[in-house]
Amino acid sequence: MICVFIVLLTLICGLILPTEGLIRVEKRPDNRLYTAEYTSCMQDSLISFERFDASYYSRNLSIVLDIHGYSNLDANVTFDITVDAYGSQRARFKFDPCNMNLGNACPLTKNSIIETQGVLPISFQDVKMVPNLAWTIPDFEGFVKFRMYRTEDLENSSIDESHPLACIVASLENGHTFQKRVIFALSIVSFSLAIVGFLGFCVIGMEHGIYMLRPVIANSVPSIQHIVDLLQCIVLTAAVGVEQPKVLVSWASNFAWIIGLIPNRQLKNSINSFLKHSGGDLNSQPIGIHRRTVTASNPEDSVVDAYSGLVGLANRFHITSPDFFTLSLIWFVISLGIIGGALIGFMCISQLFLKLRFIRPFSCEYVLKCWKRLLFNALMKWVFICFPILIMFAVFQFTLSDAYGPVILAAILLALLMGLFAWCFLKLAKAVRISRSVTKYPKESINDLNVLSWSGWMHMDLKEHCWYFFIIRFSVVVLSGLLFALLQNYGKVQAIVLFAIEVVAIGFLIGLRPYFGLCSMICALLVSGTRLVSMALLIPMAFNLNTISKVVIGIIIIIVQGLVFSTLTIWGLLNFLSMLVTLWPVIKYQPKWLRQLFQQDEQDSQLDIDDHKLNGKEEDPAVSSLLLENLSFERNKEVPWLHYDNDRPKATEASSTIIPMPMHPSTKSSHSFSDFSEIQRTPPEFYTASSNPFE
């Protein structure tokens, strides 16, 4: 399996990395530092810049300058360039542009265009001040400060006491970064494997019987919830309002698509038009960040190479603060459409499998007759997965004194989602209360199967007696979203409180062990532990550590998150491959956990039948048919209300969904905490039609 994974990675690298880019990298001179982004560090300057490009080559000991701008004064100027790296000044160069023949910068004239190109030679002593690690370390932490001084002012005072005519700050890069298209592609592959694996094991579970749908899905891990939670954890680590190293922000930017930070020019234009017509001031952007020769619209008052909170993360994509919520909302709506389309495609594939005799009519019947319930569960599950991001951006929108249009949208969305979640949970709680008062399983049973079939998105991965754990997850999500949005300017408090919440959350997780199946529990612990460790390591960053210490902590966080991400990705690949070979009719293969799951279910079914006979009760053929429903793939009897012949009427949707997806524990089955023994079944006396409160 590992060899297959390595081959997959090789193919992805070959498809994603263009040949031209590889050739261009090979042709670059060794040991190069160059400016990437720049911004003005001086207001009301009479000199403006449209391009600032400086590159340092250690091979030929030179700095290549390319400066374009506009001058609104007459002056003889002196250039001053300082290089700072990892919190300290590494080099400084002061020179007269006239000595280097730098175009029309010698001298500057009023109302003229500045076009300066030239080479500045430097000494070997200056090169020794730059450590060798600077050429290879990812996401180099350095910047260049370029200033112009009036030459006459420097003759009368020192350069530090003189007032500059113009000032630019530009970030430095060495070509090595953690923001890679391969990592971005792997995150999408991991997410896709979780989706396909989930759908495939749905088919496998329904083929064996609706009884087995829940335990099969619960043991098919990592689930979509696990993968998305981990990707969100990685991104939100870089969204905490502390000053973070560039290396951590670059790493998190590979996964920013999961929270809707996907820049698009057409969407940007549409959002700008919406803001303009709802009271937004698109021109109140005094400081802009430029990317070499192209100006990127960014109104943030941050400086280059300073990353803190949501604004710092969005600066990586040149996305503005007023666009956060609207952009994420648009992609959220698009994702809902994709989820609905995927479910429709899943039903079409089920029909295709039915025609190819890969699955039996019994399995396909549930999908086709209950497509509304399946669609509702799929959409609500995705809404709950995305809810942390939606509440964070919606509340953050309230803190901005900008256009009223996004604020109204945010308020409406929060009201609708909170009302919908509260309504669904109250319905489930009501069903639990009624079930405890009328059943012989007062602590664990929920016999309103119609409610359960509509609310499976809340508790499908939970044990029945831990159904209330959903409200704990929901509370953690709401609190975390509020803290991310409201404490962006209070990094110390935000990091400490978020860490405390994660401690409480993992305490509940370990104490209750609410997830159905050992594999699901392990995945949940991995994700929760990753959040806990990440928040714990962010706390020291909030207390004014030096740059090198922050970089070290950032790399530790990347290692922890990268190991967990790699583990879940490989696990998802193995789960996907086992699903494929299980579905393939030619290959007689079942994963060990699935085989044990089916064997345990058959044993429990036989125990129920034996117990029924020992009690001396007259055997009911319909009950026997129900009890034997899971005994083998080759059964000849079906559930009575799904049987089609001339003597029985066609099943209605309400009656056909009596077959439960959640199930109750058998009185004879062992309930140890394992992958295959936590099979929950519903007693036959609960198979009665009931009205659906959701309809």
| Residue 272 burial (C-beta neighbours within 10 Å; 0-12, 13-18, 19+) | middle
Q: What is the pLDDT of residue 29?
A: 43
Phi, psi of 627, deg, nearest 5 = -70, -30
The pLDDT assigned to 202 comes to: 77
Residues 555 and 416 in one domain: yes
Give pLDDT tens digits for 359-377.
666 556 666 677 788 888 8
pLDDT of residue 503: 95
Q: Dump pLDDT digits (tens) for 406-457.
A: 899 999 999 999 999 998 888 888 877 777 766 555 555 555 666 667 887 8
- Of 527, 550, 583, the one marking the end of a domain is 583
Q: Are 137 and 200 in the same domain?
A: no
Question: Taking residues 101-118, what's their average pLDDT?
Answer: 83
470 and 492 part of one domain: yes
What pLDDT digit, counting tens, does each position of 478-525 carry?
A: 999 999 999 998 989 999 999 999 999 999 999 999 988 788 899 999
pTM as predicted: 0.78
Residue numbers of the domain that contains 436: 181-281+301-583
For residue 543, what pLDDT is reported? Answer: 87
Same domain, 377 and 277: yes
Residue 433 covered by a domain: yes
Higher pLDDT, residue 127 or 352: 352
pLDDT over 90 percentage in the chain: 25
Domain assignment present for residue 8? The answer is no
346 inside domain: yes
> What's the confidence (pLDDT) of residue 552?
92
pLDDT at residue 220 in the model: 80
The answer to whether the CB of 390 falls within 8 A of the CB of 382 is: no
Q: What is the average per-residue pLDDT within 134-149?
A: 88
Examine the domain organization and report whether 378 and 508 are in the same domain. yes
What was the pLDDT predicted at 19? Answer: 39
For the chain, the domain total comes to 3
pLDDT at site 522: 92
- Residue 13 contacts by C-beta under 8 Å, 6 or more apart in sequence? 182
Residue 81 has pLDDT above 80, yes or no: yes
* Backbone φ and ψ of 59, nearest 5°: -65, -45
Q: Does residue 326 fall inside a structural domain?
A: yes
3-state secondary structure of 477: helix
The per-residue pLDDT for 209 is 61
pLDDT value at 190 more than 90: yes
Residue-wise pLDDT tens digits, 37-79: 888 888 888 888 888 898 888 777 888 888 889 988 888 888 9
Residues 636, 576 share a domain: no
Tell me, letter by letter, the H, E, C secondary structure of 95-156. ECHHHHCCHHHCCECCCEEEEEEEEEECCHHHHHCCCHHHHCCCCCCEEEEEEEEEHHHHHH
State the Cα–Cα distance between residues 281 and 653, nearest whole angstrom. Answer: 53
**Angle, alpha carbons 429-435-436 (nearest 5°):** 95
The per-residue pLDDT for 619 is 46
Percent of the chain exceeding pLDDT 70 equals 71
558 against 60, higher pLDDT: 558
Q: Residue 673 and residue 690: Cα distance in Å, rounded?
A: 32
The answer to whether residues 308 and 372 belong to one domain is: yes
- Would you place residue 602 in the very low, low, confident or very high pLDDT band (cuts 50, 70, 90)? low
DSSP 225: H
> Is the alpha carbon torsion for 648, 628, 199, 527 positive or negative?
positive
Q: Could you identify the residue written with the tokens 């509304």? A: 372
Do residues 57 and 138 share a domain? yes
Q: Are residues 493 and 619 in the same domain?
A: no
212-238 pLDDT, tens digit per residue, is: 677 777 778 888 999 999 999 999 999
| pLDDT given at position 584 | 73
Query: Could you tell me the pLDDT band of residue 320, with boundaries at 50, 70 and 90?
Result: confident
pLDDT category, 23, cuts 50, 70, 90? very low
